[in-house]
Amino acid sequence: MALERLGADFEHYRVVEFDKYAIASYNAIHGTDFPTMDITEIKGEDLGIVDTDRFTYLLTYSFPCTDLSVAGKQEGMAKGSGTRSGLLWEVERLLKETKELPQVLVMENVPQVHGEKFKADFLKWLDFLTDLGYTNFHEDLNARYYGVPQNRDRTIMVSLLGNYKFKMPKPIPLYPTMNNLLEDEVDDRYFLNSEKANKLIEELLQGGKLDNLPDKHIHIPPDVVKLLSAYQNEYNEAISVGCDLSVNCP
């Protein structure tokens, strides 16, 4: 999308993604027809990087944040660990197997990728890219400073093949905001619905515990506000009795 906005003459050349829903979304957005591909089953030659004296190849890559994120078990991304985040090293393998290297690499992941706990592995990755001839620039950027109404920090790294200088883009004023994006009418199928949640909502309503919700100050359907409040109360109740919400609670 960024290349389109810049008016660049480019081609969606290859996509390596094994999730059929993710690739279907990509194809729908970009008007492409890529099949699913498993990164562990392809070779460097499958990337089709040729004639780099005539074409510039921009390879974007990420890897599951599941084992890095504070929301997960933080099992890490060490080489040979077998973790989902360890799929980073499949990118290493592919770059080693290619006869010609892409001139530009762009990586995205959660900030924990270079945090103290996983810093050693991140430095190993930087060393590998440097040995290939890349100059690397990484920085934590928040989506809300780049036109997306979401408070989302992500580490972005740009690697340029050769000795170059690069600066990350400067923040821009936020537009639109969530107020511009939320819909007034939403189909019922997009709302959570369960017997337990409905029971909690009814109890909270009867107990007057939802009276002070700021639904007059935010543009979120009242039913959604009630449901979120219900889940918050359920969470607080579960914590008070030492219950894990991922299993059946009393």
Question: What's the pLDDT tens digit per position in 175-199?
Answer: 877 778 888 888 877 776 677 677 7
CATH 3.40.50.150 residue spans of the chain: 39-161
Per DSSP, which regions of 185-248 are E strands?
none
Per-residue model confidence (pLDDT) at position 246: 38
Question: What's the pLDDT tens digit per position in 74-85?
Answer: 999 999 999 999
Q: What is the mean pLDDT of residues 40-61?
A: 96
Determine whether 249 is an active site residue.
no
Q: How high is the mean pLDDT of the chain?
A: 84
* Fold annotation for 39-161: Rossmann fold (3.40.50)
Confidence of residue 222 (pLDDT cuts 50, 70, 90): low
Per-residue model confidence (pLDDT) at position 174: 85
Question: What's the pLDDT tens digit per position in 141-178?
Answer: 999 999 888 889 999 999 999 999 999 999 998 887 77
* Alpha carbons 225 and 228: distance in angstroms, whole number: 5
- Pairing, β 58-61 against β 134-142: unpaired
- The active-site residue, picked from 65, 91, 200, 204, is 65
Q: How many other C-beta atoms are found inside a 10 Å radius of the C-beta of residue 85?
A: 26
